[in-house]
Structure 1
Amino acid sequence: LFEPTHGSAPKYAGQYKVNPMAMLLTVKLMLDYLEEKELAQRLENAIAQVIEEGKVRTYDLGGAASTLDVAREVAKKVISNK
């Protein structure tokens, strides 16, 4: 099983404002385990790019982007970094 380590945050339920990076990095670990090394590396690179660019940030990083905004930005980078 693969599970991001985090605490429960019921006060944010349904608000789509929490940072999805721990979950996405857990997916990267799963891909590594499944020997999908290229895709795992593309995902890790995409996450790093989104953080470095700083354009799409959740509230905990001083931004206003939603969980979905961040996930979509990472997905776009995974696709474009083939």
Structure 2
Amino acid sequence: MTMVCCDTPIPRAERSRAAAAALTLDERASRAADRLAAAMKAVANAIASHRRRRLDAAALEALPFDLRKDLGWPAGDTAP
């Protein structure tokens, strides 16, 4: 009886080409949808962050001048 080892190493470049060729259309579509969803989530997070910063700035600007000065907010009425 002869034993044959079939664990021959495949070069890295051939492995990646073989893996890419093995993807079905559904798998590629699923990966594309995942990338699109991740991009949309990043845009939504950026918009939410910008809105939060804008509302925080508006809340600080709505405070009375003396209270803003007590908090250490820069005074707009002082000239150098």
TM-score above 0.5? no
Larger fraction in helix: 2
| Higher normalized contact order (CA 8 Å, seq sep 6+, divided by chain length) | 1
* Higher CA-based Rg: 2
TM-score in terms of structure 2 length: 0.28
